[in-house]
Amino acid sequence: MKMPVKKIVGLDIGCASVKAVVFHCSGKKAQLERVEVFHARDEGILSDDELYSSIRDWLKSHGLDRSRITLGMPQYLSTTLVRDLPGVNRGALENLVRMEAKQLAGLSDEAFVLDFQPLPAGGGRNHPVLMALCRENAVRERLGHMQAVALRVDDLAMTGLAMVNAFAHLQPEAAQAKTPILLLDLGHDNATAAVWYAGQALFMASLLFAGERFEQALNAKSRKGGTLAEVNLADEAPQSPFIAAARMLENEIHAAVEHWRNQEVPELADKPIEKVFLCGGASRLEGLAEWLQDRLECSVEQLGPTLDGRLRPELTVAYGLGLQGASRASIKLSLLPEEIRRQKKRLARAPFLAAGLLLFVLTGLGLELASWRRNADILAKLTSINSQLDQCGLLVSRLESTRAALQSQESKLIPLVAAGNQASRIAMAFAELGRTRGENDWLVYLGDELSFQATRAAAVAQRGQRKTSGGSAAPPPVIAPGGMFGAPAAAGWGQAPEQSPGGEFPNRCLPAEVKYAEAFIAAGYTERQEQEQVYESVRGLVQTLNQSGRFDRVDILPEADCDGREDIFAPWLEYNKRLTAASGSKGYRNFTIRMPFAERHIRPPKAPPAPKKGGRRK
């Protein structure tokens, strides 16, 4: 985007002429565009009102009446002061400066316009601050003349400060030198001196000398007329009026330098002036720079912008004013009254406020658009997820139907698999027991754990019934269908808690509800040993079975778990007595062991999970 172009005019109003230096600014760049000079003395102007009206018409004729003007304030109407203040923040520094200004104003009741700027440290000062004061009445009078002719004044600056800023911009290397430099502005009606040191404007004052002295000398020397351009100071005799005027200028320079030394810090007070720069209309006098160089014993040069290959020292002050208006001045002190400065700051912030408001509106619209798009994306995703959930619902119903069909097939296959594996397991158990039993051990029972526990439970129940019925005899426990190696059929064993034999389908048993034998129970006799080695042979049998790899965690079944299965050993009691009497041994002791299988041959399917409450509605 192309940056807007602003025209900045540095306006130096003198008694003899008015100089306007025009800068055009684009972004952070400022470039000298042109220079205009209005010779007021040739127009026969008699009053200030007529002068400012003529200036307005002259600016309007050059298209500069609507430009931003930085106006010069004569140096003799203002005062500058350099103080080394403590290094504090901006607010505290402003309070210190105001206190210094009150002391400087003394007992005067007049209002003053004040501005200040910190300077770089150096020359014996750690925190130097340059202060500028001017009577508010003088400021308002000058601004009133401009407002009366409808000319906009953007800033008001001292002419001496404008000369200093022009020097810092035109001579950047000399401006950084750590030696005192004297700047002289020789105008038609007044002259200004300034002392510069390494970025610090140390001193600014008016001289009791004016450029019109050379015009008076010209009139005193030649009654026939002539111009200053024809005069060369080097050709003048010692008694010439021009030499007298130059000596007056020399005396004023020495007085100004002495005045500066008297108020300067010791580190700089004794340093000699190394260089002098001349500017202003009177500095164009031929031979003046060379004459001052001989008298001051230091280098003297002219200072000013170069236009069309020619140095223009008379435009130096206007050039410095333009630099301040374009914000390119190294020292910017404004003499505008406080309320005008605040208004100027508000006007300067107005574009930023408008840009901020526009940015806020655009940000709000962007956030609204982003929110709308995000909500649209979320809605699209939710719609897609809803569609996927509907498809998942159909798939779930199909999976449930498939699972029910698989469960139905499993209910048909699992009993066949269980029955088919049972014979091989029995044969394996017989073989392992025959291989691992002791020489004097003999087995009388082998059955699966479910049938063993079912028969035991039935016997315990019958025993309880006998006790409650007064000890009447009851038939022995009946082994359930399936016999020794079938599925348990004792009342309540292997049935779901809510299922009862008197239900609608008492013989129905789902695959998830069927229990399958995962261990065998073996019972037999072993020869009696010493008291401390009662079951030594049985322990060897248990250890050998655990190491076979067919069974896992084989152990002797406690007598409490055998309660109710006395029927296993009842048929062998008489035989045991006869065998003991015939062999003459100590007799035989019964034992019961539990033999869990190392591998499960059947893994019944898990029961389907219960449906969750509060499910998704269709």
For 534-549, what is the mean pLDDT?
A: 81
One domain for residues 326 and 456 = no
Final residue of a structural domain among 301, 336, 371: 336
Answer yes or no: is 375 within a domain. no
One domain for residues 226 and 118 = yes
Answer yes or no: is 611 within a domain. no
Final residue of a structural domain among 336, 360, 379: 336
Answer yes or no: is 186 within a domain. yes
For 266-274, what is the mean pLDDT?
A: 91
**Strand segments (E) across 253-330:** 275-279, 299-302, 306-307, 310-311
3-state secondary structure (DSSP) of residue 611? coil
**Residue 370 in this model has a pLDDT that exceeds 70:** yes
- Residue 527's CB is within 10 A of a number of other CB atoms, namely 17
Q: Which structural domain range is residue 537 located in?
A: 417-496+510-596
CA angle (527, 528, 530) in 5-degree steps: 135
Answer yes or no: is 465 within a domain. yes
What's the whole-number average pLDDT of the chain?
84
3-state secondary structure (DSSP) of residue 207? strand
pLDDT of residue 551: 86
Q: Which phi and psi angles does 163 have, rounded to 5°?
A: -65, -40
One domain for residues 94 and 221 = yes
One domain for residues 325 and 438 = no
Answer yes or no: is 33 within a domain. yes
pLDDT of residue 605: 60
One domain for residues 423 and 329 = no
Answer yes or no: is 368 within a domain. no
pTM over 0.95: no
For 581-610, what is the mean pLDDT?
A: 75
One domain for residues 304 and 421 = no
**Strand segments (E) across 200-251:** 200-207
Do β-strands 153-158 and 306-307 pair in parallel, antiparallel, or remain unpaired?
unpaired
Answer yes or no: is 371 within a domain. no
One domain for residues 322 and 427 = no
Answer yes or no: is 467 within a domain. yes
Q: pLDDT by residue (tens digit) across 185-236?
A: 999 889 999 999 999 999 999 999 988 998 888 888 765 556 777 888 888 8
**Distance (Å, rounded) from C-alpha 447 to C-alpha 429?**
10
Structurally, the chain folds into a number of domains equal to: 2
- Kindly state the DSSP code that residue 177 receives in the 8-state scheme: -
**Distance (Å, rounded) from C-alpha 230 to C-alpha 226?**
7
- Nearest partner of 160 among 142, 186, 179, judged by Cα: 186
CATH code for position 325: 3.30.420.40
One domain for residues 422 and 330 = no
Final residue of a structural domain among 336, 354, 389: 336
Do β-strands 442-448 and 519-527 pair in parallel, antiparallel, or remain unpaired?
antiparallel
User: 101-122: buried (b, 16+ CB within 10 Å) or exposed (e) per residue?
Assistant: beeebeeeeeebbbbbbebeee
One domain for residues 433 and 549 = yes
In a 10 Å sphere around its CB, with 0-12 CB exposed, 13-18 middle and 19+ buried, how is residue 127 labelled?
middle
One domain for residues 44 and 137 = yes
**Distance (Å, rounded) from C-alpha 86 to C-alpha 448?**
104
Q: pLDDT by residue (tens digit) across 36-60?
A: 999 888 777 878 889 999 999 999 9
